[in-house]
A and B are shown apart, each in its own frame.
Chain A
């Protein structure tokens, strides 16, 4: 399949053009260093795009917020009458996603489609184009080469309707332009629709992209034996001691789960003022004590180690057993955000060793 070239100085105009047709989301740096996926505004696009940042590490807040916001209105009511508040389905262009996040998005899409379809999530995300921009200098907490979810995804051999590897387009930084690889029919159509921004890539540029991919891969130094760990989890070889050790240190703030790109747990609650009110949902996390506590006071997971076990086994055992894909994409956000320096990578490392003692989590660092 032909590869294309997108000159860096054309990106701004491409995004401005595309935003006529698509709700366009890009990694965007506001004040400070924090980066988030933000939608291009209706006016002032030029100025807005001055803060576009494609050379970021990885945004701490995952792009899952686009389809699964931290707080979401389900419906409003007034005097007993319900007003549905389902977001209208819109076409979304997610430009500048990292490989791990592309994998995570597809994983979460699949979850919200399983059994009951979640109209709030699916309306926000059904029709979308995923443009991956591979990491050039991966952050130190990432371990996506171990989870096989990055820094680039393999290019599918044929373009099916169903995304095979995940991305529609994959961009590789080769200096003053990006090499563009096509991952789906939809991605191909996008290039055709915005022809003037792309050119056909030469052999030399394809070679350059191979080098760039290799360099990015080599830059990821954090390695864990992911397969072994998942196997140990699935075979119940993880002792309670492992969880108790983590429990000694974890403060159960839930931060790691809020920033996790595949976490989907939520709570539902009502608010009311006079005769008007609303029902909403917001993110929740399985490490909280109240997460399973019933009205009677009975709590099946009263102890910290049980909740820690849940937290890791959900991702590394049950997700794998039910979907064939683990819920960890190696993005490293949990480690980056944790106030007491616990990351799933360390847990994986220890479980892969299958030792009773868990040194890197013992808190003496």
Chain B
């Protein structure tokens, strides 16, 4: 029997600043065999820890085609995330996982893909976005709608430019509070609906962001004819184990950590209202 609670050391190879409170870490397992054999799917997460400080679930933001390393984008929220964001390249993180289900892409073959992210919701979507780009011919149009509080808080600024220039791909950005250089849209993510054509008939939507954003995005998606089962949402819940044991992430009879974190809206609709899945 494997000890699922035991984390494995991984070294930080490089760090990319995303914004004042968010950085992206490229890490490699210290154990070379593990680094080589490690597999995951887009949308899965790892439990990341610093010994003596704590452990938290963090989505894998790299895509599985990038072999031998993992990337995580981490925003400072509390004790552990602050400590991680103070580390330098060469430091060790402790990882266990991967956990959870994933964003399915097989079902989306030949369809148009719509990715809708708010704030720190883009990192998990980035994994599936890049997986889709790795197999670009399989899909129709790709649209990425992404909103952040301010221009500085947009993650992956360089990569956004790359995505923008890909054929048959549209990237729409928005911020709540613009700075003097910002020329794009201002307002919450749903205001982007006026800027582009959102057609759910041949579309699959992938959504991640704060609960309030998800709620409004789903309403918009349904209006745009997206089917409930074609809307995939990654939920966030307080998590302690990632194994379906500690109980913290439960919603109704499900565990977000093992049954999710990705659910279709059709599934989410069946959760009792009082459990406030979104």
Contact = CB atoms under 8 A, between A and B. Distances in A.
A267 B55 CA distance: 11
Interface stretch (B110-118, B155-163, B165-173, B237-245): B237-245
B135 interface: no
A286 interface: yes
A262 B98 CA distance: 28
A270 B53 contact: yes
Contacts of A119: 1-5
Interface string A267-282: 1111110000101010
Given A77-B51, A84-B6, A300-B275, A115 B258 contact: yes
Contact of A298 (B55, B211, B247): B211
Contacts of B53: 270, 272
B3 A272 contact: no
Contacts of A272: 51-53
Contacts of A300: 211, 237, 251, 275-277
B66 interface: no
B89 interface: no
B4 to A, nearest CB: 5
Given A116-B245, A270-B53, A74 B5 contact: yes
A264 B245 contact: yes
Nearest to B239: A294
Most buried by B among A240, A281, A294, A300: A300
Contacts of A317: 253
A118 B243 contact: yes
A324 interface: no
Contacts of B237: 292, 294, 300
B274 interface: yes
Interface size class of B (residues with CB under 8 A): 35 or more
B250 A118 contact: no
A118 B6 CA distance: 11
A116 B241 CA distance: 11
Nearest to B56: A295
Contacts of A74: 5
A120 B77 CA distance: 31
A266 interface: yes
A193 interface: no
Most buried by B among A240, A271, A272: A272
Contact of B245 (A77, A112, A309): A112
Given A82-B6, A240-B274, A284-B248, A268 B55 contact: yes
A80 B10 CA distance: 11
Nearest to B241: A268
Contact of A294 (B54, B238, B251, B274): B238
Contacts of A111: 245
Given A269-B54, A272-B52, A291-B248, A116 B3 contact: no
A265 B247 contact: yes
B3 A84 contact: yes
Contacts of A268: 5, 55, 240-241, 246
A194 interface: no
Given A296-B77, A318-B253, A266 B3 contact: no
Contacts of B94: 82
A321 B270 CA distance: 14
Contacts of A75: 5-6
A291 B238 contact: yes
Interface string B216-249: 0000000000000000000011101101111110
B210 interface: yes
A339 B52 CA distance: 36
A77 to B, nearest CB: 5
Given A120-B5, A294-B238, A301 B243 contact: no
A111 B244 CA distance: 9
Nearest to A82: B6
Interface string B1-42: 111111101000000000000000000000000000000000
A265 B247 CA distance: 5
A322 B276 contact: no
B81 interface: yes
Interface string A159-200: 000000000000000000000000000000000000000000
Name the 9 nearest CB pairs between A and B, nearest first.
A272-B52, A265-B247, A295-B77, A318-B253, A116-B243, A300-B276, A277-B52, A295-B78, A77-B51
Given A75-B6, A268-B241, A295-B56, 16 more contacts: A80-B51, A82-B94, A114-B244, A236-B272, A265-B246, A266-B246, A267-B240, A270-B51, A272-B53, A279-B51, A281-B246, A286-B250, A291-B238, A294-B236, A300-B251, A310-B250
Interface of A: 74-75, 77, 80, 82, 84, 86, 111-112, 114-120, 122-123, 236, 240, 264-272, 277, 279, 281, 284, 286, 291-296, 298, 300-301, 306, 309-310, 314, 317-318, 321-322
30 contacts: A74-B5, A75-B6, A80-B92, A82-B6, A116-B258, A117-B2, A117-B4, A118-B4, A118-B245, A119-B4, A122-B1, A123-B1, A264-B247, A266-B240, A267-B248, A268-B241, A270-B51, A271-B52, A277-B52, A279-B5, A284-B248, A292-B237, A293-B238, A294-B237, A295-B56, A295-B78, A295-B81, A300-B237, A310-B275, A321-B253
